[in-house]
Amino acid sequence: MYTIGYDLGSSSVKVALVDTNRNKTIGVVSEPQGEMGIKAPRLDWAEQDPEMWWKYLCRATKRLLAETKIDSKKIKALGISYQMHGLVVLDAKGQLIRDSIIWCDSRAVTIGAKAAEELGVSLYGSKLLNAPGNFTASKLKWVKENEQENYKKVAHYMLPGDYIAYRLSGEISTTINGLSEGMLWDYQEKKPATWLLDHFNIDTGLTPQLVDNFANQGTVTQTAADATGLPPHIPIRYRAGDQPNNAFALNVLKPGEVAATGGTSGVLFAVTDRDTSNEFSRVNHFAHVNYTKTNPRIGTLLCINGAGIQYSWLKKTTQIESFNEMNALARQVNVGSEQLINLPFGNGSERMLNNQNIGAHFCNLNLNTHTQAHLCRAALEGIAFAFYYGMEIMKEDGLNAQIVRAGNDNLFQSEVLTSTLATLLGQPIEIYNTTGAVGAAKAAAFDKDELEVFSENKTSADKVEEIMPKKEVSPYFDAYENWKSIVEQKLNNTV
């Protein structure tokens, strides 16, 4: 049995083909060959054309089928992973009204902050487990306030993954997971948070129908089959945001387990079975893929917007040939980068910094001492320090990380980053050979009631290595404290 997994990121669309009978990945392709563009018509705005996502998904699917040469009639199910928190709006004919306002767009920060003040923490804290923030609901409110002609046309709002499911199946729907990502799931009442839409004076009828994330969510239409090269009638059997999906791929399903991701953004996703929290602003709490109304599994998510995008910027700016070369240069420099400090916060407002945008910085640059190698190490250390800063926030909220797992891709291919983070955490980081697209493909073969069996029986066959903490920890903590002091000075506007 073959399944296909789609992973819609902000930089590319990845597609994976998996033989689920043998638990074997047959092929993975990515489109475009470079990176998808992000439109930034104003400072702190970020938009993408969903038609671009669809174009690259179709191109990648055709490539995958051609390169693997498998009989496409043997593909039994599709799974979808997608960039979280974005807003897509369609008219009554199912046509796009405007570009998607994506996850790293900061324009709705003040709308979310105003709603939080008006609603009060006792309401949003107990029901949403989050402040309204800069998420899908607030972005829709921004459209209503600032693009009245566009808003009049809106018949459906949805998240990016819902749009991909719609283009494949022709059916408009969303999931509990998706609503939770948009701040539109009421954990207390266990139903859509229509009261928040009422507060924003938004028609609750715009909310798509709910489908389970492990269920038949529609089948591939003939139109989609012609565009992708897939046979018609293949069912979509899974849909989840990229971070819950990444956690599934890493078998992070139980309380105490943490998934780490280092792509465009850096993310920690820690699983808990409690439905309360004391931290509603700097971290977020979303329904995990194995969340049910009777057995809640919540993923506490910490996001660093400016992680991989910063490392990519540094590569382009220095014109170093590859990330492997950058990682090798970084290893030549001692811990602490000889006082060169990097703050990796240059991609919009940072939730973990109370939605402040302090920008990206290289501090203490010495023109006589520091080289490209120092820049590379400082950048990686800055990202690792930001991860640990976030873990301290999680600990304050009562979370206890027992296992940390990461995929063998992007930033976690760097020994400097992984060993720095493992040393600060005081525990190993397990590295697995998996990706979001592969996770989505594997998930498409499951029913929700099979997840516990999957979690118990999953072997360590995909495990690549285990990064152990360094024995000499003081240089790492000294460097971290120096970094943290600069962050706090920036937050307090003292530097």
What DSSP designation does 104 have? T
Rounded to the nearest 10 degrees, what angle do helices 415-425 and 474-491 cross at?
A: 90
Cβ count near 240 (within 10 Å)? 30
Q: Is there a contact between 326 and 416 (Cβ–Cβ < 8 Å)? A: no
**Could you identify the residue written with the tokens 């899908």?**
136
Model pLDDT for residues 460-482, shown as the tens digit of each residue: 557 889 999 999 999 999 999 99
Q: Which residues contact 309 (CB under 8 A, 6 or more apart)?
A: 264, 265, 346, 347
Q: Is the pLDDT of residue 186 over 90?
A: yes
pLDDT of res. 461: 54
User: How does pLDDT run across 262-271, given as a tens digit for each residue?
Assistant: 888 899 999 9
**CA angle, residues 254, 409, 105, in degrees to nearest 5:** 80
Contact 254, 455 (CB under 8 A): yes
| Matching residue, tokens 């808003």 | 151
More confident residue, 335 or 434: 335
Domains, the chain: 2-244 (3.30.420.40), 251-433+459-495 (3.30.420.40)
Q: Which residues contact 2 (CB under 8 A, 6 or more apart)?
A: 17, 18, 19, 20, 26, 70, 74, 75, 76
- The per-residue pLDDT for 155 is 98
Helices (H), 136-270: 136-146, 148-153, 160-169, 176-181, 194-199, 222-228, 242-249
Predicted pLDDT of residue 384: 97
Residue type, 264: T
456 pLDDT tier (thresholds 50, 70, 90): low
The C-alpha atoms of residue 352 and residue 131 are separated, in whole angstroms, by 12
Mean residue pLDDT across the chain:
93
pLDDT surpasses 60 at 357:
yes
Radius of gyration for the chain, computed over Cα atoms and rounded to the nearest angstrom: 22
Which pLDDT score is estimated for 171?
Answer: 97
**Residue 305 — pLDDT band, cuts 50, 70, 90?**
confident
